[in-house]
Chains A and B, each alone.
Chain A
Amino acid sequence: EADIYQTPRYLVIGTGKKITLECSQTMGHDKMYWYQQDPGMELHLIHYSYGVNSTEKGDLSSESTVSRIRTEHFPLTLESARPSHTSQYLCASSKTGSNSPLHFGNGTRLTVT
Chain B
Amino acid sequence: GESVGLHLPTLSVQEGDNSIINCAYSNSASDYFIWYKQESGKGPQFIIDIRSNMDKRQGQRVTVLLNKTVKHLSLQIAATQPGDSAVYFCAERSMAAGNKLTFGGGTRVLVKP
Tell me the B37-79 residues at the A interface (CB within 8 Å). Answer: 41-46, 49, 51
Within 35-61 of A, Cβ neighbours of B (below 8 Å) are at 35, 38-45, 48, 58-59
For window 11-52 of chain B, which residues contact chain A by CB distance below 8 Å?
31-32, 34, 36, 41-46, 49, 51
Interface assignment of A84: CB less than 8 Å from any CB of chain B: no
CB within 8 Å for A101 and B100 given contacts A90-B43, A106-B41, A107-B43: no
> How many residues of chain B are within 8 Å of chain A by beta carbon?
31
- Bound state CA distance, A2 and B44, in angstroms? 11
Q: Once the chains are docked, how many angstroms separate the CA of A102 from the CA of B32?
A: 12
* Cβ B4 vs Cβ A38 within 8 A: yes
Q: Is the interface of A mostly helix, strand, loop or mixed?
A: loop
Taking a contact as CB atoms under 8 Å apart, the answer to whether B44 and A41 are in contact is no
Residue A43 contacts which of B2, B32, B44 (CB distance < 8 angstroms)? B44
Residues of A within 8 A of B51 (CB): 99
With beta carbons under 8 angstroms apart, the residue of B42, B99, B106 that contacts A41 is B106
Contact size class for A? 20 to 34
Cβ–Cβ contact A101 & B34, under 8 A: yes
Could you tell me which B residues sit within 8 Å of A by CB distance? 1-2, 4-6, 8, 31-32, 34, 36, 41-46, 49, 51, 87, 89, 93, 95, 99-106, 108
- Chain A contact residues, CB within 8 Å of chain B: 2, 6, 33, 35, 38-45, 48, 58-59, 90, 92, 98-99, 101-107
10 residue pairs A–B, Cβ–Cβ below 8 Å:
A2-B46, A40-B106, A40-B108, A42-B106, A43-B89, A45-B100, A98-B31, A99-B93, A101-B34, A103-B46
